[in-house]
Amino acid sequence: EKGRYEHFMLKEINEQPYIMMKIADTIEYYKKFSERLESALKSGSLSIVAAGTSMHAGLIGKFYLSTLAGFGSDVIIASEFPEWSRHIANGDVILAISQSGETADVLEAVRIARDRGAKVFSIVNVPGSTLTRLSDEYVFIQAGPEVGVAATKTFTAQVASLYVISSLISDPTSSEDLREKLLSISNSILKDMGRVDEESRKIAGLLKSREHVFFLGRGVNYPTALEGALKLKEISYIHAEGYAAGEYKHGPLALIEEGVPVIALIPKERSLINKIIYNLMEVKARGSFTVTIQPPDVSLPSDRRLVVDVEDELTSPLIYAIPLQLIAYYTALELGRNPDKPRNLAKSVTVE
Ligand code: M6R
């Protein structure tokens, strides 16, 4: 049921702070999975396998596992797994991430990995899905049913789960700190939701007539930028691309001309801010219309600012994802598209 919301997508976007509270209150639930993953990782390499939005969450998971837990990993796009996984052997570990647990490419990858003797861990939303049956260990992201074709609440629930799992691997006694951190993030999202919704709607009004939109991010928000672009193209049909901010000058910069919107996700960490300011000035000098999604108290040369309350760099994708989802949602509405049912797409892709 959509309740008071016009679309499932908007309802699901608004559910996000409550799902984070649920994850905060069930940190212990992730413990066994984290312990087993850590012990499996002692004997083999880790490959994260997923598609679409879940793959973007997987890239953030790679960042968390590296930064928090000290484990290196590879992220393999599920449909490419058969070709890119020939090195995977007995004792290696696959971490499959899938909302539905039914994505054909993910299931095929897992079958291949199992045949080679790899251990399969998975992060899933739908209970009883095929992926849980093919996995040695699985954990649920507890986001509840997602009806909108565009993944929203399941993205942040995957990211929050990966944050919890990586933090528990790093320090199994950190449950209480994690709980407090996630609760404070959900409270700050709730507090700002009305304003962020309104400002995202205004930005959507500026994007609706544009042909291309670019999203830039650094570090942990490089995958968030990819996700912002996927959301926008998927439901508004405007051409959108996400890039690592520093990679942009290696080619895509040629596409910038007067009025092309560039949406930059501004890091919280001071040491990264100067770099992104330089990236912004580069596109601005070529006529781009710049929007920054940013922490308070940072003065930036952007044409439009959307300020959010970022707690720390690592958890910032949980907060930045929300205006990106809302911008995509309102742009789709401005263009008369149905955001819940984008053309050509199905909620779960059960063919390879
Ligand atoms: O159910 P899954 O998480 O395995 O689905 C993967 C992708 O098909 C999915 O994330 C898709 O990219 C979404 N429609 C994006 O919003």
Q: How far is the CA of 63 from the centre of ligand 1 (A)?
A: 20
Confidence label for 346 from pLDDT (cuts 50, 70 and 90): confident
The atom of ligand 1 lying closest to the CA of 342 is 14
Catalogue the E-assigned strands of the chain: 46-50, 74-77, 93-98, 119-124, 137-140, 212-217, 239-244, 261-265, 289-294, 304-307
Q: How far is the CA of 176 from the centre of ligand 1 (A)?
A: 32
The whole-number average pLDDT for the span 64-93 is 97
Q: How far is the CA of 227 from the centre of ligand 1 (A)?
A: 11
Mutate to test the pocket of ligand 1, among 8, 77, 81, 100 (most ligand atoms within 8 A of CB): 100
Looking at residue 311, what is its pLDDT? Answer: 84
- Nearest residue (by CA) to ligand 1, atom 4, is 98
Q: What is the pLDDT of residues 208-247, one digit of tens each?
A: 999 999 999 999 999 999 999 999 999 999 999 999 999 9
Q: How far out from the chain centre does Cα 306 lie?
A: 19
- Nearest residue (by CA) to ligand 1, atom 8, is 52
Looking at residue 100, what is its pLDDT? Answer: 97
DSSP 3-state of 262: strand
Q: How far is the CA of 275 from the centre of ligand 1 (A)?
A: 32
Q: What is the pLDDT of residues 189-201, one digit of tens each?
A: 999 999 999 999 9
Confidence label for 301 from pLDDT (cuts 50, 70 and 90): confident
- Closest Cα partner for 123 from 152, 147, 99? 99
**Position 126, amino acid:** V
The two most distant CA atoms of the chain are separated, in Å, by 54
Q: What is the pLDDT of residues 237-285, one digit of tens each?
A: 999 999 999 999 898 888 899 999 999 999 988 888 988 898 999 999 9
Q: Is 347 noted as a catalytic residue in this protein?
A: yes
pTM listed for this prediction = 0.97
Separation CA 153–CA 16 (nearest Å): 5
The whole-number average pLDDT for the span 70-84 is 98
Residue 178 pLDDT greater than 90, yes or no: yes
- Nearest residue (by CA) to ligand 1, atom 14, is 150
Strand partners, 77: 50
Mutate to test the pocket of ligand 1, among 7, 49, 54 (most ligand atoms within 8 A of CB): 54
ipTM: 0.98
Q: How far is the CA of 36 from the centre of ligand 1 (A)?
A: 26
Looking at residue 252, what is its pLDDT? Answer: 87
Percentage of the chain modeled with pLDDT above 90:
89
Residue 335 pLDDT greater than 90, yes or no: yes
The atom of ligand 1 lying closest to the CA of 151 is 16
Spell out which residues line ligand 1, taking CB within 6 angstroms: 51-54, 98-100, 103, 106, 149-151, 230, 234, 348-349
Mutate to test the pocket of ligand 1, among 99, 110, 125, 146 (most ligand atoms within 8 A of CB): 99
Q: How far is the CA of 35 from the centre of ligand 1 (A)?
A: 27
Looking at residue 43, what is its pLDDT? Answer: 87
